[in-house]
């Protein structure tokens, strides 16, 4: 509430009013003081001349104290604030009528006296006040001369101690009280008007901020943080704008990335599909053109090659579409609880014949009783198929492909290992890349697409689990990953 823009602006304005008020009071007091001093000094300029001209106050260096007292007394009757002094030509005080012990200094500076005598402009002019050790007061002065010889000065302080006493008590009472009241009145008036004006002006800004916050809520799915809402309207707008800018930039990046991936995919697909298609077309055309020239054996061979490439084409299309769907996030894993042991038993059944044909033994080992996991059964089935297929493909006769299920409290660790050809150290980090085939002349065959492990990795990514591979050349390869038993705390994740 106190953080709103109108309150902040009003507070700033009040502080400004206060500062201006204080400066105004000080300025008024200073200028009225100066004005008073100038007028008083001008008005009383003849007083010193009167005292000096009325009677000879110094004769042949002798002070006429009686005459001075009488004249000073007269002057004080007319104006009680004056104090009369008799100075010698060096400024030393020769006599006065203020009684003993009244003075704090015995000398008066001559410079202001000479300036006063030389010109009547530049008033008020301050001279030394003998009743204080460092104070200055307005004064009037007149020379005392015998013929051309300067005998001394009559030096009259115009606002002496009496004036100070009266001025101080008056100040304490009326002037200060009135000025303070005026300043307080101005500040209250300023605050009231400022609140009214700024409140009206910031109403539309409030509405805009509320709309932006509502939009932020809708776009981000959560209201702006509490800290943001405690800021004033402009800061809230700036923060919401920053958040939205970051989100728009993110989305534009995502769109660019998806677009790039789509382009790459289309170019890969068109390239990969073209190769087997052209080969297939080539053999079929040869068959048609040389129908009468070729032997039955050659025809059969050509047809088998065409069929193999047809199968490869079919697999490529299936794999590419699967990968495209996994990449585009169109597939959300349908997580459910199922028995991994049962799934593995079913899958190995499918591969049994192929394994026997190659004289490779396909073994399933289960450690622990419980093989229940929480995952997408169809996607995990695909993972097993790809890994077992690879194992069988790269394991020579009399070798072994083992599927080990190791149950523990939180989940099941799966290891698919073989006693096959192994993968070189250089190739190992790249085997999950699309279209990658490890260099040793692997018995991949034309139906191999190089997409199997990319699909495996993507599926396990979607399950938020990692796949680890280890391999030794001519010894074998093993892939392992873990599946959880229960739904994760943030099960809305996939």
Ligand X SMILES: Nc1ncnc2c1ncn2[C@@H]1O[C@H](COP(=O)(O)OP(=O)(O)OP(=O)(O)O)[C@@H](O)[C@H]1O
Residue 124 touching ligand X (CB under 6 A): no
How many beta carbons lie within 10 A of that of residue 316, not counting itself? 21
Nearer to ligand X, 51 or 320 (CB): 320
Work out the end-to-end distance of the chain between its first and last CA atoms, rounded to an integer number of angstroms.
42
Q: Total number of residues binding ligand X (CB under 6 A)? A: 23
Query: From Mg ion, ligand X, none, which one binds at residue 382 (CB under 5 to 8 Å depending on kind)?
Result: none
**Residue 377 beta carbon to ligand X: minimum distance, rounded to whole angstroms:** 21
Using CB under 5 A as the binding rule, whether residue 390 contacts Mg ion is answered as yes
Site membership for ligand X, residue 160 (CB under 6 A): no
C-alpha atoms less than 13 angstroms from C-alpha of 153 in its C-beta half-sphere: 22
* Pairing of the two strands 400-407 and 361-367: parallel
The DSSP H or E segment spanning 240 is: helix 233-289
Residue 95 in contact with ligand X, rule: CB under 6 A: no
Min CB(452)–Mg ion separation in Å: 3
**Contact flag: residue 93 with ligand X (CB under 6 A):** no
Of 5 and 316, CB closest to ligand X: 316
Residues with Cβ < 8 Å from 63, sequence gap 6 or more? 57, 86, 94, 95
Residue 438 touches which member of Mg ion, ligand X, none, C-beta under 5-8 Å by kind = ligand X
The C-alpha atoms of residue 205 and residue 195 are separated, in whole angstroms, by 15
Candidates 47-55, 104-112, 431-439, 448-456; binding stretch for Mg ion (CB under 5 A): 448-456
Smallest distance, ligand X to C-beta of residue 392, A: 9
Token pair listed for 36: 């008073």
Q: How far is it, in rounded angstroms, from Cα 305 to Cα 287?
A: 12
Locate 365 and state its tokens. Answer: 């080992």
- Identify what 451 binds: ligand X, Mg ion, none; CB under 5 to 8 Å per kind: ligand X
Contacts (Cβ under 8 Å, ≥6 apart) of 23: none
* CB 154 within 8 Å of CB 52: yes
Coil, helix or strand for 235?
Answer: helix
Size of the site for Mg ion (CB under 5 A): 2
452 binds Mg ion (CB under 5 A): yes
Per rule CB under 6 A, is residue 137 in the interface with ligand X? Answer: no
CB nearer Mg ion, residue 61 or residue 429: 429
Q: Which CB atom, from 353 or from 441, has the smaller least distance to ligand X?
A: 441
Check if the beta carbon of residue 365 is closer than 8 Å to that of residue 480: no
Q: Among 224, 407, 411, 420, which residue sits at the site for ligand X (rule: CB under 6 A)?
A: 420
Among 58, 209, 477, 482, binds ligand X (CB under 6 A): 477
Q: In 10 A of CB 158, how many CB atoms? A: 23
Residue 437 interacting with ligand X (CB under 6 A): yes
Closest CA to 312 of 454, 445, 455: 445
Judged by the rule CB under 6 A, the positions of this chain that interact with ligand X are 319, 386, 390-391, 394, 418, 420-421, 423, 431, 436-438, 442, 444, 448-454, 477
């Amino acid at each position: 509430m106190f953080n709103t823009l109108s309150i902040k602006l009003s507070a700033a304005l009040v502080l400004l009013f206060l500062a201006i008020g204080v400066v105004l009071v000080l300025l008024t007091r200073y200028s009225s003081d100066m004005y008073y001093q100038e007028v008083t000094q001008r008005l009383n300029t003849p007083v010193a001349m009167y005292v000096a001209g009325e009677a000879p106050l110094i004769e042949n260096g002798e002070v006429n104290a009686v005459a001075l007292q009488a004249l000073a007394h007269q002057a004080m009757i007319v104006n009680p604030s004056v104090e009369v002094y008799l100075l010698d030509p060096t400024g030393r005080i020769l006599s006065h009528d203020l009684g003993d012990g009244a003075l704090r200094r015995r000398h008066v500076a001559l410079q202001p006296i000479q300036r006063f005598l030389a010109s009547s402009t530049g008033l008020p002019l301050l001279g030394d006040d003998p009743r204080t050790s460092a104070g200055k007061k307005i004064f009037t002065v007149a020379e005392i001369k015998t013929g051309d010889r300067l005998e001394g000065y009559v030096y009259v302080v115009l606002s002496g101690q009496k004036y100070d006493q009266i001025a101080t008590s008056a100040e304490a009472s009326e002037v200060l009280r009135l000025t303070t009241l005026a300043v307080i009145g101005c500040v209250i008036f300023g605050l009231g008007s400022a609140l009214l004006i700024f409140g009206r002006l910031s109403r539309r800004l409030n509405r805009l901020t509320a709309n932006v916050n509502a939009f932020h809520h809708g776009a981000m799915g959560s209201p702006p943080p509490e800290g943001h809402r405690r800021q004033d309207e402009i800061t809230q707008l700036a923060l919401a704008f920053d958040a939205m800018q970051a989100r728009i930039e993110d989305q534009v990046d995502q769109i660019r990335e998806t677009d790039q991936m789509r382009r790459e995919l289309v170019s890969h697909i068109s390239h990969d599909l073209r190769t087997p298609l052209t080969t297939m077309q080539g053999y079929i055309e040869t068959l048609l053109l040389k129908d009468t020239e070729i032997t039955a054996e050659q025809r059969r061979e050509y047809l088998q090659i065409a069929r193999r490439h047809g199968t490869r084409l079919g697999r490529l299309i299936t794999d590419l579409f699967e990968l495209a769907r996994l990449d585009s996030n169109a597939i959300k894993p349908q997580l459910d609880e199922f028995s991994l042991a049962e799934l593995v038993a079913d899958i190995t059944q499918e591969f049994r014949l192929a394994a026997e044909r190659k004289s490779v033994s396909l073994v399933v080992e289960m450690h622990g009783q419980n093989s229940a996991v929480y995952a997408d059964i169809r996607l995990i089935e695909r993972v097993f198929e790809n890994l077992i297929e690879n194992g069988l493909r790269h394991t020579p006769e009399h070798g072994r492909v083992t599927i080990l299920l190791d149950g523990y409290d939180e989940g099941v660790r799966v290891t698919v290992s073989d006693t096959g050809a192994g993968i070189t150290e250089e190739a190992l980090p790249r085997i999950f890349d699309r279209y990658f085939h490890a260099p040793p002349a692997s018995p991949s065959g034309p139906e191999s697409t190089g997409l199997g492990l990319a699909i495996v990795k993507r599926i396990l990514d979607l399950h938020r689990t990692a796949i680890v591979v280890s391999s030794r050349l001519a010894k074998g390869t093993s892939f392992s990953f873990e599946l959880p038993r229960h739904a994760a705390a943030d099960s809305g994740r996939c």
